Amino acid sequence: MLRNINLLAYNTYKVNATAELVAIPENENELISHLQYIGSTEFAVIGGGSNIILSKPDYRFPLIVLTEFNRFIRVEGNHIIAGAGVSLSSVVEAAVSNGLWGLEKLIGIPGTLGGAVYMNAGAYGQDIGSSIEWVESLDIRNHSLVRRTGEELGFSYRHSDFVNWKHEIICSVKIALTDKAPEGENGDIRSVSLSTLRTRLAKLPYDLPNAGSVFKRPDYQYPVGKMVEDLGMKGRSVNGAMVSHMHAGIIVNTGFATGSDIQRLATEIRGAIKKNYGLDIEMEQIVL
């Protein structure tokens, strides 16, 4: 357990915040030990910090950080078994290197595998939930491991049932892929993946700290970024938080943005879209 830790390295917005107590377990036994130490105290769990807004300058409750947790990847035939703490990009690379199709368009998405499963990360018509064979999680109430098939996890657009199960922490994942290219796909898997990455790099603001898309797409069809751009809100800022000039669905940290700045700007965007389009858009990012 670490005390009085700056969380700058644990969130991709690069917001300055501190936590009185941080646990960074490497396996299930250490995770259980940390949970026993914390006891019934309120705590929060974060992975790579790529889909969160740190809204407080100081966290008085413990944080469990899973960036070092179960960092293993095994390729077994057309399957990949990996721990929740490995990066999604490492899993995608393992799949591509072994000629396994199903994750190649997720290249460039930051964060951990556990976080990707938790919110069913996806891009360009592909999502990780579609390839999940099973997920093993730890029930924090009795410290028992639970394994469920992908069909039991309620995967939908940017959602899994883990969002509702606050008492479980994802530990490991088995992913089922294929060595046959999808129908109509031209080129080898490496070229398809690199082409996808080039598209992401051209469209997304990798030059400034951000946490990707702030909002879910309404009805999975009309892009929030297009609405924000049409409203002339590109470049709109609240102190150090700004609507990206490259992609209006993303808020970037131009210098010293706080979580409060990011939240205020997100609230302005939601209000403008409600007023002009009559839509109540939903946050994709988690406010902690």
CATH of the domain at 230: 3.90.78.10
Residue range of the domain that includes 120: 73-176
Which of 28, 104, 136, 158 is an active site residue? Answer: 158
* Residue 182, domain member (yes or no): no
Instruction: Tell me what pLDDT residue 161 has.
Output: 96
Same domain for 92 and 39:
no
Residue 164's domain is classified under what CATH number? Answer: 3.30.465.10
Same domain, 28 and 112: no
- What does pTM read for this prediction? 0.92
Per the structure, the count of domains in the chain is: 3
Query: Residue 213 catalytic?
Result: yes
**Residue 90 pLDDT > 60, yes or no?**
yes
Residues 228 and 151 in one domain: no
Residue 218: the pLDDT is: 83
User: How far apart are alpha carbons 53 and 214 in whole angstroms?
Assistant: 10
217 is catalytic: no
3-class secondary-structure state, position 114: helix
**pLDDT, tens digit (0-9, with 9 covering 90-100), for 134-176:** 999 999 999 999 999 999 999 999 999 999 988 999 999 999 9
CATH number at residue 19: 3.30.43.10
Instruction: Return the percentage of the chain with pLDDT > 70, whole number.
Output: 99
102 in the same domain as 54? no
User: Residue 221's pLDDT band (boundaries 50, 70, 90)?
Assistant: low
Per annotation, catalytic residue among 50, 137, 160, 213: 213
Statement: residue 122 has pLDDT above 80 = yes
Residue the block writes with tokens 């709109």: 236
Which regions of the chain does DSSP assign to beta strands (E)?
A: 2-6, 18-23, 44-46, 52-53, 58-59, 63-65, 73-76, 79-83, 122-123, 126-127, 132-139, 144-149, 168-176, 210-213, 237-238, 241-243, 250-253, 286-287
Instruction: Find the length of the chain.
Output: 288
Radius of gyration of the chain (CA): 19
Task: Report the pLDDT averaged over residues 42-65.
Answer: 94
Query: Are 119 and 158 contained in the same domain?
Result: yes
The span from the CA of 135 to the CA of 81, in Å, is 10
Mean pLDDT in residue range 191-203: 93
Same domain, residue pair 86 and 171: yes
- Based on the domain organization, do 50 and 145 belong to the same domain? no
- Both 61 and 114 in a single domain? no
Q: Is residue 189, in this structure, part of any structural domain at all? A: no
CA-to-CA distance for 163 and 284, rounded, in angstroms? 11
Among 135, 85, 128, smallest CA distance to 109 is for 128
In a domain, 161, yes or no: yes
**Amino acid 220: pLDDT:** 57
Question: Within a domain: residue 152?
Answer: yes
Query: pLDDT band at 252, cuts 50/70/90?
Result: very high
- Chain segment 16-45, per-residue pLDDT in tens: 999 999 999 999 999 999 999 998 788 999
120/167 same-domain check: yes
Q: Is the residue at 197 inside a domain?
A: no
